[in-house]
Amino acid sequence: MDYYGQRLATASSDRSIRIFETVPGQPEKFLAELKGHEGPVWQVSWAPPKFGSLLASCSYDGSVIVWKEQDGKWIKAKLYKGHEGSVNAVSWAPVEFGLQLACAGSDGKISVLSYNEADASWNEASWTAHQIGCNSVNWCPSFSASILSEQQPPQEEVLRLASGGCDNLVKIWKQSADGWTVEETLAGHSDWVRDVSWAPSLGLPMSILVSCSQDRQVLIWRNASINKNGSWSKSLLTPEPFADTLWRVQFSPNGSLLAVAGGDNKVSMWRETPQGDWQCLNSLDQSQL
């Protein structure tokens, strides 16, 4: 879904991307089909609306495409082929950090594409993140509200990424003058990490990161003060493993709900209680979605 919940973009193994209009109370309306990849399309992601109608897609063919809606048509604003193998995930940076796209590849690399408005060009940076392969990447939210809540003068924020790999690890990456470097390596899963998701910043000086894995577990990672080099703690979402491999985890925009999607075709919704436990609200199979 886009930011306003009015359009839906889908990625498919038929190599196409489709866009639908979704108006509450009305049937979905087909708007466009985008073709440009030569392999299955694994993921699509809408850019923040401040930058216009932009949609990123990644594919098994090793490419990333940034699509732009212009005069009612969709064009390729950027084609990136910097990975040697499947590109498994794409993630746009929070709007506060400008137009930046992170990509995760089976070659073990993360790449970041940054748009330079002055000359309408794209800067490209990449590095090896996981030796066996990188399955997911997600940006740390802006903590500007947290900084203000502590009554400190505004300061330039550090850009961070989280990644999950085939080495069973979650890694936190930090941008500095020397480029992107690993800030923390989080070990806790016993199989490939399939997805990572950062909780939205709600004005509190703390960070919550969630990961899911082939080991059928979801881990909740917490850092009481990430901007002050705090330490990470971990806990299990459920004592017992899920029924099948877990593929995706995603927080709702306000951070109140966590969705978990598994290989058993079920999506479960979770909410944290005031006591710090996680409660399952429902479990939907594919036929109910």
In the chain, the domains with their CATH numbers are 142-289 (2.130.10.10)
CA distance 189 to 231: 18
Which amino acid, residue 81?
Answer: K
180-200 pLDDT tens trace: 999 999 999 999 999 999 999
Angstrom distances, CA of residue 91 to CA of 64, 105, 149, 183, 229: 11, 12, 27, 19, 24
The confidence score (pLDDT) of residue 152 equals 45
> Global pTM?
0.90
Label each residue of 191-220 as H, E or C: CCEEEEEECCCCCCCCEEEEEEECCCCEEE
Q: Flag residues of the chain having pLDDT under 50.
A: 145-154, 289
The confidence score (pLDDT) of residue 144 equals 64
